[in-house]
Amino acid sequence: MLRVLIVDDEAPARRYMRRLLEAAPDVLIEGEAATIDQARKLIHAHRPDVIFLDIILTQGTGFELLEGLDRTPSVVFVTAHSNYAAQAFDINAVDYLLKPVNPDRLAQTLNRLRPRATDYLTTRTRTGTRQIKVRELTVIQAEGDYVRLHSAAYANELIHITLKRLAAQLPSPPFCPVSRSLIINLDHIAHLAHRSGTQTEVNFINSVTPVMLGRTATLRLRRAMA
């Protein structure tokens, strides 16, 4: 799932971009902002993958917004002005779209952005903001309003996000929700072992501790593996 933020000081322009982006099946709009201050707050709160950013805002410019960020998401400029393109690409903008945005042209931009979103997960952990390589995650477990990430590489990170929200950002396959509180990376499964009653032990190819599943979760997992 590609998580995006729309930044434009004109409400009709934001509505138009929202309609275009909502037509894409794997785009999640985290919010809209009309000012630099609003945008900074949303970026800090949601850590989007991409900002669709107007250049000329009522107070300041899109370039000024980017200068004040501790971490810059991918940036797509959306503007009525063609004369800022060189400056935009100097700061490694992914694309530069002229208003009114053509849907086919936007589709090309989204295709360029998708690999960036699925490779890494940018999130806040107890030790600060980190980029976590998605494919290295083995088990993802809900703990109230938090989620614990089990992997050989990240030593069981606890992050402040709901499992449902995180699941929307993960590729499926290989990630399989086997219950409302547990997601398993199918690529990391070594073998399944029957245990007492209806329980099944899932063993992994790395050092992650095996997990126990009940009958319903086991059936879901076996169907996904098939």
Residues 176 and 71 in one domain: no
Structural domain boundaries enclosing 43:
2-120
Burial of 122 (0-12, 13-18, 19+ CB in 10 A): middle
Total domains present in the chain: 2
Q: Which residue has the higher pLDDT, 129 or 176?
A: 176
CATH of the domain at 208: 2.40.50.1020
Contact yes or no for 92/67 (Cβ under 8 A): no
Residues 37 and 110 in one domain: yes
Angle between helices 11-22 and 103-119 (to 10 degrees): 70
Q: At which of 69, 90, 120 does a domain end?
A: 120
pLDDT band for position 134 (cuts 50, 70, 90)? confident
Does the reported pTM lie above 0.75? no
Backbone region of residue 15 per phi and psi (left: phi > 0; alpha: psi in -120 to 50; beta: other values): alpha
CATH of the domain at 42: 3.40.50.2300
Residues 29 and 104 in one domain: yes
pLDDT higher than 70, residue 175: yes
Dihedral through CA 167, CA 169, CA 175, CA 181, nearest 10?
Answer: -20
